[in-house]
Chain A
Amino acid sequence: MENTTVIETTELTKRYGNGVLAVDSVGMSVRRGEVYGFLGPNGAGKTTTLRMLVGLIRPTSGTATVAGHEPGDPAGLAKIGSLVEAPGFYPYLSGRENLKVVADYAGVSHKRVEEVLDIVELTSRAGRKFGTYSTGMKQRLGVAAALLKDPELLILDEPTSGLDPQGMAEMRKLIKDIGQGNRTVLLSSHLLTEVEQICDRVGVISGGKLVTQSTVQELLGEEGVLVKAEPADRAYELLAGMFGVSAVSRQDGSIRLKTDPAGSLEINSRLVAAGIGVSELRPFERSLEEVFFQLTGEKQGS
């Protein structure tokens, strides 16, 4: 994998005419060949950022380089395939005719239309009018249109939105497949499992600000050990003595240790030797959901 940057933004900001600051000084970088998850709650500024990257809206300030060009530059657009928000097609045309229209705009051969229909498994229904398509078929056609140029950068905004569980699983598999090789995929989503399953790196946006950007592994942090023991206070004191206060935390009736799970046997021995009853002792890894809620200040289950 080459380590060159395909998307680079600096202090990218969008303030709408009504004063709403939708995107605030975002500095993100997406590397060639990776699947980058752009994560954030609804209204966080994901779609506005993506719209700026494809040149649909102009930033109030800051800069962006996408596929080596300014956003909206025809030379750059030739290398980018995108599906921003709901797929937009002509309802009176068939799926195939819609793709031919897009292919004409993009200067792509109509032969490619059949190829992308095949990739998204829509060939058998390509003759039906777009207006009669289900949500899943519309999303597939949107992805097909994004693939027409065989782009080096694919920008997908919530591609599983509105799909049923089976459709979501199929779409995830499709994105994984098309993200293979040297193609870069920027995937916006508010679905954490989706991002965790598909992406190499993630950027988390909240309130218009990019709050973090790293690999999924870095974001989840080091592995640790979860302990449930009685009496809990004594267990906490003993473990804090063993590993230091900063490595020990209490959460939901359990104690979490930042340590290598390989030392679980010794931890158990020390607790038992001190007369502390151990009911649970296992390795744990933070879920992306936990990290996300911590970073964005959102409440779980809200």
Chain B
Amino acid sequence: MIASIKAEWRKNRFRPAFLVSAGLIAGIVVLFYSAEWYQATHPGGPRESISILTLFPDQLVNNVMGAGFPLGAAMALVLGALITGSEYSWGTLKTVFTQRPGRLATLTGRVVVFQVWMGIITLIIFAVGAAYSVVIASAQGHAISWPAAVDIAKGAGAMWLVLAVNGSLGMVLGVLFRQSAAALGVGLIYVTVLQIIVVRFITSFNGGTYKWITNWFDGQNATALLQTFTSPVFGPSPPPAIGAQQAVLVLVGYLAVFLIASAALLRQRDVT
């Protein structure tokens, strides 16, 4: 398995898709902070005003969580679909499977490296957010203070889990369709459109009798988990319908199901 991890890291450390995604997510965090800074310092526009207090370093964890879903999740899904699907289109799966490690050891190496990359992207989101919040605090003459380390760890963990689950969904779709294009299409439609429509339908069906079912959707749990990171400076917000503990358990369940499904498909199916 160590051999697989080494090989997977060697081929993915400079992979353009990962590097571009890392740059893109950093750019989005910068854009997000810039837009909010402008809105906070130029009130009276058509949008609801934003408190400048939300942009200072002590609110870092609560503020960057907005990047996790659906944007970060969609990006993770794309990367997951690429890391498995492109192995089929490049014909590299047969090259890899005819080396020494077995199929499951190869998949394990791929999953480890992919989840490391999700961790790197999480760190980038936090690092860029932290840097920009320091810039804003300095410009506004506000004292720089940071959230507690445990809160940063919890926030980063939650962000990583959301990215990991959606990335694993991309991975299993890449294996299922044996290509990245179909996996990307289906995955993105599910995350950004289909799931939302289904949740709305179930919520409104029969006066909301079956609303409890929506608490088991991965998107609902990801959103709820990220929404638990808030503070009074963000203004009043309704409590999440799903508690953080349940959200974590459900998301871990999804992660396990996606990885087991990937392993079963890879192990059983012919490589043609």
Contact = CB atoms under 8 A, between A and B. Distances in A.
Nearest to B15: A92
B102 A74 contact: yes
B209 interface: no
Tell me the dominant secondary structure on chain B's binding face: helix
Contacts of A209: none
Nearest to B92: A88
A293 interface: no
A77 B92 contact: no
Contacts of B206: none
A93 B11 contact: yes
Interface stretch (A28-36, A54-62, A114-122, A165-173): A54-62
Most chain A Cβ neighbours within 10 Å, of B3, B4, B92, B100: B100
A88 B10 contact: no
A226 interface: no
A57 B106 contact: no
Contact of B95 (A92, A93, A145): A145
B244 to A, nearest CB: 39
A77 B100 contact: yes
A88 B99 contact: no
B93 A105 contact: no
B211 to A, nearest CB: 41
Contacts of B6: 104
A49 interface: no
A86 B11 contact: no
Given A56-B271, A101-B10, A88 B102 contact: no
Q: Which of B96, B270, B271 has the most CB of A within 10 A?
A: B270
Contact of B90 (A89, A101, A106, A145): A89
B127 to A, nearest CB: 26
Interface in A48-92: 51, 54-58, 72, 74, 77-78, 80, 82, 84-92
Contacts of A82: 98
A202 B270 CA distance: 27
Contacts of B93: 88
Contacts of B95: 87-89, 102, 145
Given A78-B100, A92-B15, A105 B92 contact: no
B134 to A, nearest CB: 35
B270 A80 contact: no
Contacts of A57: 270-272
Contacts of A56: 94, 97-98, 270-272
B27 interface: no
A105 B91 contact: no
A111 to B, nearest CB: 16
A145 B7 CA distance: 14
B101 interface: yes
Interface in B1-18: 3-4, 6-7, 10-11, 14-16
Among B94, B99, B270, B271: residue with most chain A CB under 10 A: B99
A93 B13 CA distance: 11
B15 A55 contact: no
A43 B95 CA distance: 22
A56 B270 CA distance: 6
5 contacts: A57-B272, A74-B101, A87-B91, A89-B95, A106-B99
Interface of B: 3-4, 6-7, 10-11, 14-16, 90-102, 105-106, 270-272
Given A51-B272, A84-B98, A105-B4, 9 more contacts: A55-B97, A57-B270, A87-B95, A88-B91, A89-B90, A97-B11, A102-B96, A105-B3, A105-B96
